[in-house]
Protein backbone atom coordinates (compact mmCIF):
# COMPACT_ATOMS: atom_id res chain seq x y z
CA UNK A 1 0.00 0.00 0.00
CA UNK A 2 1.27 3.46 -0.87
CA UNK A 3 1.02 5.17 2.55
CA UNK A 4 1.95 8.54 1.09
CA UNK A 5 -0.94 8.41 -1.40
CA UNK A 6 -3.28 7.24 1.36
CA UNK A 7 -2.22 10.10 3.61
CA UNK A 8 -2.62 12.56 0.76
CA UNK A 9 -6.10 11.19 0.01
CA UNK A 10 -7.07 11.58 3.67
CA UNK A 11 -5.77 15.14 3.65
CA UNK A 12 -7.70 15.88 0.46
CA UNK A 13 -10.89 14.33 1.84
CA UNK A 14 -10.48 16.27 5.07
CA UNK A 15 -10.02 19.49 3.11
CA UNK A 16 -13.18 18.77 1.12
CA UNK A 17 -15.15 18.06 4.31
CA UNK A 18 -13.72 21.21 5.90
CA UNK A 19 -14.68 23.25 2.83
CA UNK A 20 -18.17 21.77 2.82
CA UNK A 21 -18.54 22.57 6.50
CA UNK A 22 -17.31 26.09 5.84
CA UNK A 23 -19.74 26.46 2.93
CA UNK A 24 -22.59 25.16 5.08
CA UNK A 25 -21.72 27.52 7.91
CA UNK A 26 -21.41 30.46 5.52
CA UNK A 27 -24.80 29.67 4.01
CA UNK A 28 -26.32 29.46 7.50
CA UNK A 29 -24.86 32.83 8.48
CA UNK A 30 -25.88 34.72 5.34
CA UNK A 31 -29.38 33.21 5.37
CA UNK A 32 -29.68 34.36 8.97
CA UNK A 33 -28.71 37.93 8.12
CA UNK A 34 -31.15 37.94 5.17
CA UNK A 35 -33.54 35.22 3.96
CA UNK A 36 -34.16 37.14 0.72
CA UNK A 37 -32.89 35.40 -2.41
CA UNK A 38 -32.44 38.11 -5.04
CA UNK A 39 -30.06 35.92 -7.10
CA UNK A 40 -32.96 33.51 -7.69
CA UNK A 41 -35.02 36.42 -9.03
CA UNK A 42 -32.10 37.49 -11.20
CA UNK A 43 -31.90 33.99 -12.69
CA UNK A 44 -35.63 33.97 -13.42
CA UNK A 45 -35.56 37.36 -15.13
CA UNK A 46 -32.43 36.90 -17.23
CA UNK A 47 -33.70 33.53 -18.51
CA UNK A 48 -36.58 35.39 -20.16
CA UNK A 49 -34.22 37.66 -22.08
CA UNK A 50 -34.56 37.23 -25.82
CA UNK A 51 -31.09 36.57 -27.22
CA UNK A 52 -29.48 39.70 -28.62
CA UNK A 53 -31.81 42.18 -26.94
CA UNK A 54 -30.62 44.91 -24.59
CA UNK A 55 -27.41 45.69 -26.48
CA UNK A 56 -28.55 49.29 -26.95
CA UNK A 57 -28.34 49.70 -23.19
CA UNK A 58 -24.87 48.18 -22.78
CA UNK A 59 -23.58 50.28 -25.69
CA UNK A 60 -25.05 53.58 -24.44
CA UNK A 61 -22.41 56.23 -23.61
CA UNK A 62 -24.04 56.87 -20.22
CA UNK A 63 -23.50 53.22 -19.27
CA UNK A 64 -19.89 53.26 -20.47
CA UNK A 65 -19.22 56.34 -18.38
CA UNK A 66 -20.97 54.84 -15.34
CA UNK A 67 -18.88 51.68 -15.59
CA UNK A 68 -15.67 53.72 -15.77
CA UNK A 69 -16.35 55.98 -12.77
CA UNK A 70 -15.36 55.08 -9.21
CA UNK A 71 -18.47 56.57 -7.60
CA UNK A 72 -20.84 56.85 -10.55
CA UNK A 73 -24.61 56.96 -10.31
CA UNK A 74 -26.86 55.95 -13.22
CA UNK A 75 -30.60 56.62 -13.15
CA UNK A 76 -32.79 54.75 -15.65
CA UNK A 77 -36.39 56.00 -15.59
CA UNK A 78 -39.08 54.72 -17.92
CA UNK A 79 -42.80 54.50 -18.50
CA UNK A 80 -44.69 51.50 -17.06
CA UNK A 81 -43.92 48.36 -19.05
CA UNK A 82 -40.89 49.82 -20.84
CA UNK A 83 -38.64 46.93 -19.77
CA UNK A 84 -36.83 48.53 -16.83
CA UNK A 85 -36.54 45.31 -14.84
CA UNK A 86 -35.02 43.47 -17.79
CA UNK A 87 -32.55 46.34 -18.27
CA UNK A 88 -31.58 46.04 -14.60
CA UNK A 89 -31.12 42.27 -15.01
CA UNK A 90 -28.98 42.81 -18.13
CA UNK A 91 -26.83 45.32 -16.22
CA UNK A 92 -26.42 42.88 -13.32
CA UNK A 93 -25.59 40.01 -15.66
CA UNK A 94 -22.98 42.15 -17.43
CA UNK A 95 -21.41 43.21 -14.12
CA UNK A 96 -21.27 39.64 -12.80
CA UNK A 97 -19.73 38.30 -16.01
CA UNK A 98 -17.22 41.11 -16.44
CA UNK A 99 -15.95 41.32 -12.85
CA UNK A 100 -12.17 41.12 -13.21
CA UNK A 101 -11.53 39.74 -9.73
CA UNK A 102 -13.22 38.86 -6.46
CA UNK A 103 -12.39 42.37 -5.26
CA UNK A 104 -15.08 43.72 -7.60
CA UNK A 105 -18.41 43.33 -5.80
CA UNK A 106 -21.91 43.26 -7.28
CA UNK A 107 -25.12 43.43 -5.25
CA UNK A 108 -28.70 44.19 -6.20
CA UNK A 109 -32.23 44.63 -4.94
CA UNK A 110 -35.48 43.97 -6.80
CA UNK A 111 -38.15 46.12 -5.16
CA UNK A 112 -41.58 44.51 -5.27
CA UNK A 113 -44.96 46.09 -4.54
CA UNK A 114 -46.11 42.75 -3.07
CA UNK A 115 -43.19 42.57 -0.64
CA UNK A 116 -43.25 46.09 0.80
CA UNK A 117 -43.87 44.80 4.33
CA UNK A 118 -40.63 42.78 4.20
CA UNK A 119 -38.62 45.32 2.19
CA UNK A 120 -37.80 47.94 4.80
CA UNK A 121 -34.49 49.80 4.60
CA UNK A 122 -32.78 47.45 7.04
CA UNK A 123 -33.80 44.27 5.20
CA UNK A 124 -32.67 45.64 1.82
CA UNK A 125 -29.30 46.67 3.27
CA UNK A 126 -29.05 43.21 4.85
CA UNK A 127 -29.69 41.61 1.45
CA UNK A 128 -26.85 43.66 -0.04
CA UNK A 129 -24.61 42.64 2.87
CA UNK A 130 -25.51 38.99 2.26
CA UNK A 131 -24.57 39.12 -1.42
CA UNK A 132 -21.26 40.86 -0.78
CA UNK A 133 -20.28 38.32 1.89
CA UNK A 134 -21.22 35.49 -0.48
CA UNK A 135 -19.01 37.08 -3.12
CA UNK A 136 -16.08 37.37 -0.70
CA UNK A 137 -16.41 34.79 2.10
CA UNK A 138 -13.23 36.03 3.78
CA UNK A 139 -15.23 39.15 4.74
CA UNK A 140 -17.78 37.20 6.81
CA UNK A 141 -16.44 38.26 10.24
CA UNK A 142 -18.86 41.20 10.80
CA UNK A 143 -21.81 38.88 10.13
CA UNK A 144 -20.37 36.24 12.47
CA UNK A 145 -20.09 38.88 15.16
CA UNK A 146 -23.71 39.94 14.73
CA UNK A 147 -24.83 36.31 14.79
CA UNK A 148 -23.07 35.73 18.12
CA UNK A 149 -24.68 38.85 19.58
CA UNK A 150 -28.23 38.15 18.45
CA UNK A 151 -28.95 34.57 17.36
CA UNK A 152 -29.32 32.88 20.73
CA UNK A 153 -31.40 35.75 22.07
CA UNK A 154 -33.76 35.58 19.11
CA UNK A 155 -33.14 39.23 18.24
CA UNK A 156 -32.25 40.84 14.93
CA UNK A 157 -29.47 43.37 14.27
CA UNK A 158 -30.54 47.01 14.30
CA UNK A 159 -30.40 49.06 11.10
CA UNK A 160 -27.26 50.79 12.38
CA UNK A 161 -25.59 47.43 13.08
CA UNK A 162 -26.41 46.23 9.55
CA UNK A 163 -25.06 49.48 8.12
CA UNK A 164 -21.83 49.24 10.15
CA UNK A 165 -21.29 45.62 9.09
CA UNK A 166 -21.86 46.62 5.47
CA UNK A 167 -19.23 49.34 5.72
CA UNK A 168 -16.75 46.80 7.11
CA UNK A 169 -17.44 44.34 4.30
CA UNK A 170 -17.15 47.05 1.64
CA UNK A 171 -13.58 47.67 2.84
CA UNK A 172 -12.69 44.20 1.48
CA UNK A 173 -13.63 45.30 -2.06
CA UNK A 174 -11.89 47.69 -4.42
CA UNK A 175 -15.14 48.56 -6.22
CA UNK A 176 -18.79 47.68 -5.66
CA UNK A 177 -21.73 48.14 -8.04
CA UNK A 178 -25.21 48.22 -6.49
CA UNK A 179 -28.27 47.94 -8.75
CA UNK A 180 -31.72 48.85 -7.41
CA UNK A 181 -34.68 47.93 -9.62
CA UNK A 182 -38.20 49.39 -9.47
CA UNK A 183 -37.47 51.98 -6.83
CA UNK A 184 -41.01 53.28 -7.35
CA UNK A 185 -42.32 50.00 -5.87
CA UNK A 186 -40.39 50.60 -2.65
CA UNK A 187 -42.54 51.70 0.30
CA UNK A 188 -42.62 55.49 0.50
CA UNK A 189 -45.32 56.43 3.00
CA UNK A 190 -43.26 55.29 6.00
CA UNK A 191 -40.00 56.81 4.78
CA UNK A 192 -38.41 53.51 3.70
CA UNK A 193 -37.38 54.74 0.26
CA UNK A 194 -35.71 57.91 1.54
CA UNK A 195 -33.98 56.07 4.39
CA UNK A 196 -32.65 53.36 2.08
CA UNK A 197 -31.34 55.81 -0.52
CA UNK A 198 -29.72 57.93 2.20
CA UNK A 199 -27.84 54.91 3.57
CA UNK A 200 -26.72 53.82 0.10
CA UNK A 201 -25.48 57.33 -0.64
CA UNK A 202 -23.62 57.40 2.69
CA UNK A 203 -21.88 54.16 1.69
CA UNK A 204 -20.98 55.70 -1.66
CA UNK A 205 -19.47 58.75 0.05
CA UNK A 206 -17.04 56.58 2.01
CA UNK A 207 -16.13 53.88 -0.54
CA UNK A 208 -15.90 53.30 -4.28
CA UNK A 209 -19.56 52.39 -4.73
CA UNK A 210 -21.41 52.80 -8.02
CA UNK A 211 -25.20 52.94 -7.98
CA UNK A 212 -27.76 52.21 -10.67
CA UNK A 213 -31.51 52.57 -10.14
CA UNK A 214 -34.58 52.08 -12.31
CA UNK A 215 -37.96 53.66 -11.66
CA UNK A 216 -41.08 55.06 -13.21
CA UNK A 217 -41.15 58.82 -13.67
CA UNK A 218 -41.89 59.79 -10.06
CA UNK A 219 -41.02 63.46 -9.28
CA UNK A 220 -39.45 62.82 -5.85
CA UNK A 221 -37.36 59.96 -7.23
CA UNK A 222 -36.29 61.99 -10.25
CA UNK A 223 -35.33 64.80 -7.87
CA UNK A 224 -33.23 62.41 -5.77
CA UNK A 225 -31.21 61.53 -8.90
CA UNK A 226 -31.11 64.98 -10.50
CA UNK A 227 -27.28 65.01 -10.49
CA UNK A 228 -26.90 61.44 -11.78
CA UNK A 229 -26.24 60.20 -15.28
CA UNK A 230 -29.66 59.57 -16.81
CA UNK A 231 -30.69 57.07 -19.48
CA UNK A 232 -34.38 56.63 -20.26
CA UNK A 233 -35.54 53.06 -20.81
CA UNK A 234 -37.78 52.59 -23.83
CA UNK A 235 -38.54 49.47 -25.82
CA UNK A 236 -36.02 49.46 -28.67
CA UNK A 237 -37.62 48.74 -32.07
CA UNK A 238 -35.09 46.07 -33.00
CA UNK A 239 -35.46 44.46 -29.57
CA UNK A 240 -39.24 44.32 -29.97
CA UNK A 241 -38.84 42.81 -33.42
CA UNK A 242 -36.42 40.18 -32.05
CA UNK A 243 -38.79 39.43 -29.19
CA UNK A 244 -41.77 38.87 -31.49
CA UNK A 245 -39.64 36.72 -33.82
CA UNK A 246 -38.64 34.64 -30.81
CA UNK A 247 -42.31 34.09 -29.92
CA UNK A 248 -43.40 32.79 -33.34
CA UNK A 249 -42.97 29.18 -32.17
CA UNK A 250 -45.80 29.75 -29.66
CA UNK A 251 -48.23 31.12 -32.20
CA UNK A 252 -50.84 29.21 -34.24
CA UNK A 253 -49.90 27.27 -37.37
CA UNK A 254 -51.40 29.86 -39.70
CA UNK A 255 -48.60 32.21 -38.57
CA UNK A 256 -45.81 29.65 -38.20
CA UNK A 257 -46.34 28.38 -41.76
CA UNK A 258 -46.59 31.84 -43.35
CA UNK A 259 -43.37 33.94 -43.38
CA UNK A 260 -45.18 36.88 -44.98
CA UNK A 261 -47.75 36.88 -42.19
CA UNK A 262 -44.93 36.70 -39.64
CA UNK A 263 -43.50 39.92 -41.10
CA UNK A 264 -46.91 41.58 -40.82
CA UNK A 265 -47.20 40.47 -37.19
CA UNK A 266 -43.76 41.88 -36.37
CA UNK A 267 -44.36 45.19 -38.14
CA UNK A 268 -47.76 45.78 -36.55
CA UNK A 269 -46.65 44.95 -33.02
CA UNK A 270 -43.49 47.07 -33.31
CA UNK A 271 -45.60 50.04 -34.44
CA UNK A 272 -48.16 49.55 -31.66
CA UNK A 273 -45.93 49.25 -28.59
CA UNK A 274 -44.58 52.85 -28.59
CA UNK A 275 -41.72 52.20 -26.19
CA UNK A 276 -43.62 49.74 -23.99
CA UNK A 277 -42.10 46.26 -24.09
CA UNK A 278 -44.91 44.80 -22.00
CA UNK A 279 -47.36 45.58 -24.80
CA UNK A 280 -45.31 43.45 -27.19
CA UNK A 281 -45.88 40.49 -24.92
CA UNK A 282 -49.58 41.18 -24.41
CA UNK A 283 -50.18 41.80 -28.12
CA UNK A 284 -48.36 38.57 -29.02
CA UNK A 285 -50.50 36.66 -26.52
CA UNK A 286 -53.63 38.12 -28.14
CA UNK A 287 -52.83 36.06 -31.26
CA UNK A 288 -52.64 32.69 -29.51
CA UNK A 289 -56.24 31.72 -30.28
CA UNK A 290 -56.38 33.04 -33.84
CA UNK A 291 -56.61 30.23 -36.41
CA UNK A 292 -56.74 32.00 -39.77
CA UNK A 293 -54.73 34.74 -41.46
CA UNK A 294 -57.89 36.86 -41.61
CA UNK A 295 -58.40 36.59 -37.84
CA UNK A 296 -54.75 37.46 -37.25
CA UNK A 297 -54.91 40.56 -39.46
CA UNK A 298 -58.20 41.63 -37.90
CA UNK A 299 -56.66 41.41 -34.42
CA UNK A 300 -53.55 43.29 -35.51
CA UNK A 301 -55.68 46.08 -36.95
CA UNK A 302 -57.32 46.56 -33.56
CA UNK A 303 -54.15 46.52 -31.43
CA UNK A 304 -54.45 49.11 -28.69
CA UNK A 305 -52.19 52.15 -28.86
CA UNK A 306 -51.67 55.37 -26.95
CA UNK A 307 -52.13 56.19 -23.26
CA UNK A 308 -54.91 53.62 -22.73
CA UNK A 309 -53.11 50.83 -24.56
CA UNK A 310 -52.32 48.77 -21.46
CA UNK A 311 -55.85 48.95 -20.07
CA UNK A 312 -57.21 47.99 -23.49
CA UNK A 313 -54.79 45.05 -23.68
CA UNK A 314 -55.82 43.84 -20.21
CA UNK A 315 -59.49 44.23 -21.11
CA UNK A 316 -58.88 42.14 -24.22
CA UNK A 317 -57.13 39.46 -22.14
CA UNK A 318 -60.11 39.29 -19.77
CA UNK A 319 -62.43 38.89 -22.75
CA UNK A 320 -60.33 35.95 -23.94
CA UNK A 321 -60.60 34.43 -20.47
CA UNK A 322 -64.39 34.89 -20.53
CA UNK A 323 -64.47 33.11 -23.89
CA UNK A 324 -62.92 29.92 -22.51
CA UNK A 325 -64.91 26.86 -21.40
CA UNK A 326 -66.73 27.53 -18.13
CA UNK A 327 -64.35 25.49 -15.98
CA UNK A 328 -61.26 27.22 -17.35
CA UNK A 329 -62.87 30.64 -17.00
CA UNK A 330 -63.75 30.04 -13.33
CA UNK A 331 -60.28 28.69 -12.58
CA UNK A 332 -58.62 31.72 -14.22
CA UNK A 333 -60.73 34.13 -12.17
CA UNK A 334 -59.80 32.30 -8.96
CA UNK A 335 -56.10 32.37 -9.82
CA UNK A 336 -56.15 36.06 -10.74
CA UNK A 337 -58.12 36.87 -7.61
CA UNK A 338 -55.70 35.04 -5.31
CA UNK A 339 -52.64 36.66 -6.84
CA UNK A 340 -54.18 40.15 -6.95
CA UNK A 341 -55.52 40.19 -3.39
CA UNK A 342 -52.71 38.25 -1.69
CA UNK A 343 -50.77 40.21 0.93
CA UNK A 344 -47.40 38.79 -0.09
CA UNK A 345 -46.06 36.83 -3.09
CA UNK A 346 -47.46 33.28 -3.22
CA UNK A 347 -45.46 30.21 -4.13
CA UNK A 348 -46.82 27.76 -6.67
CA UNK A 349 -47.36 25.19 -3.90
CA UNK A 350 -49.29 27.69 -1.77
CA UNK A 351 -51.72 28.73 -4.49
CA UNK A 352 -52.33 25.13 -5.56
CA UNK A 353 -53.05 24.23 -1.95
CA UNK A 354 -55.32 27.26 -1.45
CA UNK A 355 -57.34 26.44 -4.57
CA UNK A 356 -57.83 22.87 -3.33
CA UNK A 357 -59.49 23.95 -0.05
CA UNK A 358 -63.21 23.11 -0.04
CA UNK A 359 -65.83 24.81 2.17
CA UNK A 360 -66.55 23.05 5.48
CA UNK A 361 -64.08 20.23 4.77
CA UNK A 362 -61.77 19.18 7.62
CA UNK A 363 -58.81 18.15 5.49
CA UNK A 364 -57.26 18.69 2.08
CA UNK A 365 -58.27 16.29 -0.68
CA UNK A 366 -55.06 15.65 -2.62
CA UNK A 367 -57.11 14.78 -5.70
CA UNK A 368 -58.43 18.34 -5.72
CA UNK A 369 -55.01 19.99 -6.12
CA UNK A 370 -54.70 21.62 -9.57
CA UNK A 371 -51.69 21.46 -11.88
CA UNK A 372 -49.61 24.64 -11.90
CA UNK A 373 -49.25 24.56 -15.70
CA UNK A 374 -53.05 24.65 -15.99
CA UNK A 375 -53.24 27.67 -13.69
CA UNK A 376 -50.91 29.61 -15.97
CA UNK A 377 -52.42 28.45 -19.27
CA UNK A 378 -55.98 29.56 -18.46
CA UNK A 379 -54.94 33.13 -17.55
CA UNK A 380 -54.35 34.49 -21.09
CA UNK A 381 -50.76 35.52 -20.47
CA UNK A 382 -51.54 37.58 -17.35
CA UNK A 383 -49.81 35.14 -14.98
CA UNK A 384 -46.24 33.84 -14.96
CA UNK A 385 -44.19 31.52 -12.75
CA UNK A 386 -40.62 32.30 -11.74
CA UNK A 387 -39.03 28.81 -11.66
CA UNK A 388 -36.02 29.60 -9.43
CA UNK A 389 -38.07 31.23 -6.67
CA UNK A 390 -41.23 29.17 -7.39
CA UNK A 391 -43.32 32.35 -7.17
CA UNK A 392 -46.51 32.72 -9.20
CA UNK A 393 -47.29 36.34 -10.03
CA UNK A 394 -49.02 38.73 -12.37
CA UNK A 395 -47.06 39.51 -15.51
CA UNK A 396 -46.40 43.11 -14.41
CA UNK A 397 -47.06 45.69 -11.70
CA UNK A 398 -49.47 47.45 -14.08
CA UNK A 399 -51.56 44.26 -14.14
CA UNK A 400 -51.99 44.54 -10.38
CA UNK A 401 -52.92 48.21 -10.73
CA UNK A 402 -55.48 47.38 -13.41
CA UNK A 403 -57.20 44.70 -11.32
CA UNK A 404 -57.21 46.97 -8.27
CA UNK A 405 -58.80 49.71 -10.38
CA UNK A 406 -61.62 47.45 -11.60
CA UNK A 407 -61.93 45.34 -8.42
CA UNK A 408 -65.38 46.69 -7.48
CA UNK A 409 -66.82 45.51 -10.77
CA UNK A 410 -64.52 42.53 -11.36
CA UNK A 411 -64.37 40.89 -7.93
CA UNK A 412 -65.72 42.95 -5.02
CA UNK A 413 -65.49 40.04 -2.56
CA UNK A 414 -61.99 38.77 -3.38
CA UNK A 415 -60.75 39.39 0.16
CA UNK A 416 -63.81 37.68 1.64
CA UNK A 417 -63.19 34.51 -0.37
CA UNK A 418 -59.54 34.41 0.71
CA UNK A 419 -60.43 35.06 4.37
CA UNK A 420 -62.98 32.21 4.47
CA UNK A 421 -60.54 29.87 2.71
CA UNK A 422 -57.84 30.69 5.26
CA UNK A 423 -60.24 30.09 8.15
CA UNK A 424 -61.36 26.76 6.66
CA UNK A 425 -57.73 25.70 6.35
CA UNK A 426 -56.90 26.76 9.92
CA UNK A 427 -59.85 24.66 11.12
CA UNK A 428 -58.47 21.42 9.64
CA UNK A 429 -58.50 18.47 12.01
CA UNK A 430 -54.71 18.13 11.66
CA UNK A 431 -54.32 21.28 13.79
CA UNK A 432 -56.72 20.42 16.59
CA UNK A 433 -53.87 18.99 18.66
CA UNK A 434 -52.60 22.51 19.26
CA UNK A 435 -49.15 24.02 18.99
CA UNK A 436 -45.99 22.01 18.34
CA UNK A 437 -43.72 21.28 21.29
CA UNK A 438 -40.37 21.19 19.45
CA UNK A 439 -38.70 23.17 16.68
CA UNK A 440 -38.43 20.04 14.54
CA UNK A 441 -42.12 19.26 14.93
CA UNK A 442 -43.05 22.85 14.07
CA UNK A 443 -40.87 22.93 10.95
CA UNK A 444 -42.28 19.59 9.82
CA UNK A 445 -45.82 20.90 10.28
CA UNK A 446 -45.08 23.92 8.07
CA UNK A 447 -43.46 21.72 5.42
CA UNK A 448 -46.36 19.28 5.34
CA UNK A 449 -49.04 21.98 5.45
CA UNK A 450 -47.84 24.42 2.82
CA UNK A 451 -50.64 26.97 3.19
CA UNK A 452 -50.54 27.17 7.00
CA UNK A 453 -48.05 30.04 7.19
CA UNK A 454 -50.08 32.29 4.88
CA UNK A 455 -53.46 31.36 6.37
CA UNK A 456 -52.38 32.06 9.96
CA UNK A 457 -50.56 35.32 9.22
CA UNK A 458 -52.95 37.00 6.81
CA UNK A 459 -56.53 35.85 7.34
CA UNK A 460 -57.14 38.82 9.63
CA UNK A 461 -56.00 41.33 7.02
CA UNK A 462 -58.31 39.83 4.41
CA UNK A 463 -61.20 39.78 6.90
CA UNK A 464 -61.08 43.47 7.87
CA UNK A 465 -63.55 44.64 5.23
CA UNK A 466 -65.87 41.67 5.80
CA UNK A 467 -65.89 41.24 9.59
CA UNK A 468 -69.59 40.56 9.96
CA UNK A 469 -69.55 38.00 7.12
CA UNK A 470 -66.74 35.90 8.65
CA UNK A 471 -67.47 36.50 12.35
CA UNK A 472 -69.21 33.19 13.04
CA UNK A 473 -66.63 31.10 11.15
CA UNK A 474 -63.74 32.87 12.88
CA UNK A 475 -65.42 32.63 16.28
CA UNK A 476 -65.95 28.89 15.84
CA UNK A 477 -62.25 28.42 15.09
CA UNK A 478 -60.94 30.60 17.92
CA UNK A 479 -63.14 29.02 20.59
CA UNK A 480 -61.36 25.67 20.00
CA UNK A 481 -58.23 25.82 22.14
CA UNK A 482 -56.15 23.51 19.94
CA UNK A 483 -56.87 25.42 16.75
CA UNK A 484 -56.27 28.74 18.53
CA UNK A 485 -52.91 27.56 19.88
CA UNK A 486 -51.78 26.33 16.46
CA UNK A 487 -52.75 29.58 14.73
CA UNK A 488 -51.13 31.67 17.49
CA UNK A 489 -47.84 29.79 17.23
CA UNK A 490 -47.57 30.35 13.47
CA UNK A 491 -48.64 33.99 13.73
CA UNK A 492 -46.20 35.02 16.44
CA UNK A 493 -43.19 32.71 16.07
CA UNK A 494 -40.03 34.79 15.38
CA UNK A 495 -38.22 34.71 12.05
CA UNK A 496 -34.87 33.88 13.65
CA UNK A 497 -34.26 30.19 14.11
CA UNK A 498 -32.51 29.40 17.39
CA UNK A 499 -32.99 26.54 19.83
CA UNK A 500 -36.53 26.76 21.17
CA UNK A 501 -37.59 29.57 18.82
CA UNK A 502 -40.86 27.85 17.95
CA UNK A 503 -42.02 28.08 21.58
CA UNK A 504 -41.47 31.85 21.69
CA UNK A 505 -45.07 32.95 21.28
CA UNK A 506 -47.67 34.36 23.68
CA UNK A 507 -50.43 32.29 25.21
CA UNK A 508 -53.56 34.09 24.07
CA UNK A 509 -57.22 33.62 24.78
CA UNK A 510 -59.58 33.94 21.84
CA UNK A 511 -60.53 37.38 23.17
CA UNK A 512 -56.90 38.52 23.27
CA UNK A 513 -56.34 37.14 19.77
CA UNK A 514 -59.22 38.99 18.13
CA UNK A 515 -58.41 42.19 20.02
CA UNK A 516 -54.84 41.94 18.75
CA UNK A 517 -56.16 41.73 15.17
CA UNK A 518 -58.66 44.53 15.78
CA UNK A 519 -61.67 42.51 14.58
CA UNK A 520 -64.59 43.82 16.67
CA UNK A 521 -67.31 41.63 15.16
CA UNK A 522 -65.24 38.51 15.79
CA UNK A 523 -64.52 39.68 19.34
CA UNK A 524 -68.27 39.74 20.00
CA UNK A 525 -68.49 36.13 18.80
CA UNK A 526 -65.91 34.91 21.32
CA UNK A 527 -67.21 36.87 24.33
CA UNK A 528 -68.91 34.81 27.04
CA UNK A 529 -72.68 34.76 26.52
CA UNK A 530 -73.43 37.06 29.44
CA UNK A 531 -70.99 39.71 28.23
CA UNK A 532 -72.12 40.00 24.59
Looking up residue 223, the CATH number of its domain turns out to be 3.40.50.300
User: Which pairing describes strands 104-110 and 73-77: parallel, antiparallel, or unpaired?
Assistant: unpaired
188 and 42 part of one domain: yes
Q: Is the pLDDT of residue 178 over 70?
A: yes
Residues 419-451: tens digit of each pLDDT = 999 999 999 999 999 999 999 999 999 999 999
Q: Residue 180 domain-assigned?
A: yes
286 and 330 part of one domain: no
pLDDT at position 16 is 44
pLDDT at position 8 is 55
Q: Residue 393 domain-assigned?
A: yes
80 and 222 part of one domain: yes
Count of domains forming the chain: 3
Q: Residue 109 domain-assigned?
A: yes
Task: Indicate the average pLDDT of the chain.
Answer: 92
CA separation for the pair 70, 22 (Å, rounded): 33
Mean pLDDT, rounded, for 293-307: 91
Residues 497-519: tens digit of each pLDDT = 788 889 989 999 999 999 888 88
Highest mean pLDDT of the ranges 17-21, 24-28, 314-318: 314-318
Q: Side-chain half-sphere of 395: how many Cα atoms within 13 Å?
A: 24
226 and 134 part of one domain: yes
pLDDT band per the 50, 70, 90 thresholds, residue 494:
confident
Point out the domain boundary residue: 230, 255, 272: 230
224 and 158 part of one domain: yes
Point out the domain boundary residue: 230, 253, 279: 230
Task: List, as one string, the DSSP characters of 189-246.
Answer: TTSHHHHHHHHHHHHHHHS-EEEEEEE---HHHHHHTTTSEE--B---HHHHHHHHHH
Domain that residue 419 falls in: 326-531
Helix (H) or strand (E) holding 175: strand 175-181
pLDDT band per the 50, 70, 90 thresholds, residue 531:
low
pLDDT at position 6 is 41
193 and 291 part of one domain: no
204 and 336 part of one domain: no
Q: Residue 319 domain-assigned?
A: no
pLDDT band per the 50, 70, 90 thresholds, residue 274:
confident
Q: Residue 100 domain-assigned?
A: yes
253 and 193 part of one domain: no
187 and 279 part of one domain: no
pLDDT at position 175 is 95
pLDDT at position 48 is 93
User: Do the beta carbons of residue 75 and residue 108 sit within 8 Å?
Assistant: no
Q: Residue 395 domain-assigned?
A: yes
- Three-state DSSP state, 32: helix
Q: How far is CA 424 from CA 146, 333, 348, 419, in A?
A: 41, 20, 20, 9
421 and 400 part of one domain: yes
Q: Residue 68 domain-assigned?
A: yes
pLDDT at position 15 is 47
pTM (2 decimals)?
0.87
pLDDT at position 151 is 85
Q: Residue 312 domain-assigned?
A: no
Point out the domain boundary residue: 306, 335, 356: 306
508 and 472 part of one domain: yes
Mean pLDDT, rounded, for 8-33: 66
Helix, strand, coil percent values for the chain (each to nearest 5):
65, 10, 30
Residues 6+ apart with CB under 8 A from 348: 372, 385, 390, 391, 392
Count helices and strands (H / E) in the chain.
Answer: 28, 8
Query: Contacts from 321-327 at CB under 8 Å and sequence distance 24+?
Result: 321/378, 321/379, 321/380, 323/289, 324/378
Percent of the chain with pLDDT over 70: 95
Which residues are paired to 211 by β-bridges?
73, 178
Mean pLDDT, rounded, for 37-42: 96
195 and 255 part of one domain: no
Q: Is the pLDDT of residue 378 over 80?
A: yes
Mean pLDDT, rounded, for 329-339: 98
Amino acid sequence: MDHFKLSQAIINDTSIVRKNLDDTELRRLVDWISPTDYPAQQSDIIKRRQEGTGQWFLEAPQVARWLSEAKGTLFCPGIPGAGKTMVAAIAIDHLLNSAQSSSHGVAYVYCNYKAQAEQDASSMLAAILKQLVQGRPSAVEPVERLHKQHANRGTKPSPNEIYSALREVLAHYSTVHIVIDSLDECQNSDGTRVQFLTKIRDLQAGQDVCIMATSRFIPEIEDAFREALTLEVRANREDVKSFVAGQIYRLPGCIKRNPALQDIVQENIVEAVDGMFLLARLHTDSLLDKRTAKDVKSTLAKLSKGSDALDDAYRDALQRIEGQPDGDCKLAKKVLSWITFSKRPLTTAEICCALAVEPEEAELDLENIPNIEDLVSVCAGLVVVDPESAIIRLVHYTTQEYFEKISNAWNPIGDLHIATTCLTYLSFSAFQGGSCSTDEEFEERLQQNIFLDYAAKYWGEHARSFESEIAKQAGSLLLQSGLLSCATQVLFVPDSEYIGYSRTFPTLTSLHYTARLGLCSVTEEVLPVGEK
